[in-house]
Chains A and B, each alone.
Chain A
Amino acid sequence: MTTMLQIKDLCHSYRNEMGDTMLALDHVNLNISQGEFVAVIGRNGSGKSTLAKHLNALLTPDSGECLVIGMDTRNSNFLWDIRQSVGMVFQNPDNQIVASLVEEDVAFGPENLGLHSKEIVQRVEAALKMVGMSDYRQHAPHLLSGGQKQRVAIAGVLAMKPRCLVLDEPTAMLDPVGRMEVLEAVCKLHREQGITVVFITHFMEEAVAAGRVVVMNEGKIILDGAPADVFSKVDLIRSLGLDVPIAADIAERLRQAGIELPAGIIRNEELAVALCP
């Protein structure tokens, strides 16, 4: 499979208030193939967002390297290609919306690419359709719900036709229904368009939807695997200040009490089937 993102020995340092040099990213190695859906979890300050910013050259490595489809993020000649290949969506939808109509907002990126207006219209329509917001193209973004705004922000990124979508806690400010809407839209993009997804979140039940979970702690990747494997390590995940889905938690407690259960239970349905076949 083609490699989408290739991170080798990446270090990113900053100075703390005592003037000491600290590593926000400490020799990180990570390969993400085209079409993967990777969730990144970790405590606040563990380096998740710093990592995300390296993926489209908002930050560049102090040492090591970050390659986006083979393009080195430190080579400024690649900057625009990299930014167009990797679209970013951030936590607060209100900070990402620029226009007063939904369709104008989504058109902002393609307009800046200097595309023909016919092409722009097509891209805007397609992007809004992909996130299920076609009916709102004439609406004012500030009157939409949080989940709808965030889907408009995603559409704005999609209109640039990126190959990879990096979402940094896109659901942190949303209500449960808004969270579900955004997660479903992202899953659909991944499934139907084959877009590579890097999804940073504090909600473990969202990480379960990914094909792969990367766990960060103190600037390092300390776990990397399928959700069922990662969330089976209940004690380790807890010791990192994180949580596991409720089904994994209960399953582990039952195992410890001597009830035989198959490994890798992370969803409610899986636990229900295992307990009452």
Chain B
Amino acid sequence: MSIILESVCYTYLPGTPYRREALRDINLTIEPGEFIGIIGHTGSGKSTLIQHMNGLLQPSSGKVTLDGKNLHGKKNETLKSARQRVGMVFQYPEHQLFEETVFDDVAFGPRNLGLDSEEVASRVEAALHCVGLPAADYAKRSPFRLSGGQMRRVAIAGVIALQPQYLVLDEPSAGLDPRGRDEIYEQIMQLYDSTGMAVVLVTHNMEDVARMAKRLLVMNQNSIEFDGKPIDLFHDTKINLHDYGVSLPHVTALLKQLRARGLDLDDTLLDAGAVSKAIRIALQQMRNISC
């Protein structure tokens, strides 16, 4: 069972002078439990693509199915259940906070599902725990009095509380400082490991996508240009990442530079500790040869 996009095209404002094609012939299958990164420059169609995953946008042509059911078929139920099963965290989700307390804000979604108050409370507590904001300390506080990073995590908790099978996040680390960024990604990783929820992550942050995503999609000019393992993308010499508005992870760029200067290094390494060890070994080898 999965999300399947078949020959999906999408055009904004069709039939007007402002008509703009945003997606062209997209074929994509997202299986439960996958961790997918989506990269590409601004305007390449990433946000339009993810909004098809829970039926927020209806394809101009083509079809989106969730577990075999057409999201825009005759039954409205399918769309409704898709909104719950595919949770969507937009860019700057903290702008969507509106309740007086953190608890009420996170509870908004589960209450709308018609769950009883006990179930709502337990879901809110679990969701806040997931994002590292224990309910005991935060539930009664105003979301508007929290730091930017905390507000963002409350907003993410609101989506997690729906217990979706797929979690789609659009640039969750934008504007956060390095520690805030690490914390958010660590929590997403933990959630992924502990629940098996599929994660679709739109990001410009190459380091993180290389480290976390098992599968990477590169969007360019309204199409999916690459679909495969991150490491294959970063080492495919035929692909000019710059054309896609994408850059190499910093550590990969460093490794390439060191290799060019003759150090025998595995340039698929991503962890700084492993890299420094590999450099030491390579230096040793070089000395042995020259002696």
Contacts and interface: CB of A to CB of B under 8 A. Distances in A.
Contacts of B43: 145-146
Given A172-B174, A175-B246, A202-B177, A276 B261 contact: yes
B63 interface: no
Interface in B264-278: 272-273, 275-276
Contact of A259 (B142, B177, B280): B280
Interface string A42-59: 111100000000000000
Interface string B195-208: 00000000010100
A1 interface: no
Contact of A176 (B20, B206, B254, B283): B206
Given A172-B175, A202-B177, A45 B148 contact: yes
* Interface size class of chain A, counting residues whose CB lies under 8 Å from the partner chain: 35 or more
B180 A275 contact: no
A101 to B, nearest CB: 15
B279 A44 contact: no
Given A254-B279, A259-B280, A272 B258 contact: yes
Nearest to A202: B177
A145 B182 CA distance: 27
Given A91-B175, A177-B246, A246-B254, A254 B42 contact: no
Contact of B180 (A43, A174, A250, A272): A43
Contact of A147 (B42, B149, B178, B283): B42
B254 A43 contact: no
Nearest to B249: A246
B204 A205 contact: no
B142 A246 contact: no
B141 A275 contact: no
A275 B177 contact: no
A173 interface: yes
Contact of B279 (A16, A17, A242, A250): A250
A193 B31 CA distance: 54
B180 A44 contact: yes
A44 B262 contact: no
